[in-house]
A = this chain, B = another copy of it.
Amino acid sequence: MSRIYYLYFSPHRAYVRKLKNVLGFVPGNIKLYQMAFRHKSVATTIKDGVKNSNERLEFLGDAVLGSVIAELLFKLYPYKDEGFLTELRSKIVSRANLNQLSRKLGFNEFMEYDARMISYPNKQSSLLGDAFEAVIGAVYMDKGYRFTKEFLLTRIIKPHVDIHTLEITETNFKSRLIEWCQHLGKEVQFVQVENPPGESGKLFSVEVIVDGEVCGLGRDFNKKSAEKLAAEKACEYLKIFEAEEFSR
């Protein structure tokens, strides 16, 4: 009944139909979806400095997405350890991957943002991934966990995410970092530093130093892993992947 109303009689019917084409189901509470696509640059303050932007829904959607993907991987890989599961999940929910999914699904057509405020590309590209999570939050609030899980698995993961390819794609932070530094003529060093006092001597601590500035710190039980962690943090700190994604 409300489905018929929303599609044919509601004042939002054009929007509802467009959304249905993208999501594959008739949304219940339209306001949630409108909010999910609203960047803070065009949001208005609703109370005490809180805006009606998609940021709260993004917080919720991020958590629900994490949980759905955790279960998927837990069941899909019964003989892999939690390190593997954690790494694979972070590849699936990486900002780069979510941005791409958002674009594939056509979420960009729904985005509301102030182009003057988002002039530089990095920001604009995380905009879509943020909205992706916010939409998951909206679906969850609108339809519940079971529906959201079904929606994510059948409508998004299965047709659009090649888990096996992500699994074998090693994200090699160290080589990406070195390439990036070479490209920009920067000097990069991996320096083993002392552990904090009282700390087990078994741990290695490695700092990544780019042009004299400490950009990342990694600690692990072997030097190579510590370097990898430090490189990962440095890539994040220097926003190397966001820059790369744009240049692709």
Residues in chain A within 8 A of chain B (CB atoms): 46-51, 55-56, 58-60, 62-64, 66-67, 69-71, 74, 79-82, 85-86, 137, 140-141, 145-146, 149, 184, 186, 193-194, 196-199, 207, 210-211, 213-215, 217, 219, 237-239, 243
Contact of A207 among B48, B67, B140, B214 (CB under 8 A): B214
Extra contacts besides A50-B79, A66-B66, A193-B213 (8): CB < 8 Å: A62-B70, A64-B70, A184-B197, A186-B197, A196-B213, A196-B239, A214-B214, A217-B217
| A85 to B243 CA separation, bound complex (whole angstroms) | 29
Q: Are B210 and A196 in contact (CB under 8 A)?
A: yes
Oligomer copy total: 2
Contacts of A51 in B (CB 8 A): 81
Complex CA gap A117/B212 in Å reads: 40
What's the Cα separation between A49 and B81 when bound, in Å? 9
In contact, A67 and B59 (Cβ under 8 angstroms)? no
A80-B196 contact in complex given A60-B70, A85-B59, C-beta closer than 8 Å: no
| Chain A to chain B contacts (Cβ below 8 Å), 22 pairs | A51-B81, A55-B81, A56-B74, A56-B81, A56-B85, A59-B74, A59-B86, A63-B63, A63-B69, A64-B70, A64-B71, A66-B67, A67-B67, A74-B141, A145-B146, A145-B149, A184-B197, A194-B213, A196-B210, A196-B213, A197-B211, A214-B217
Closest to A70 in B: B63
Closest-by-CB residue of B relative to A240 is B196
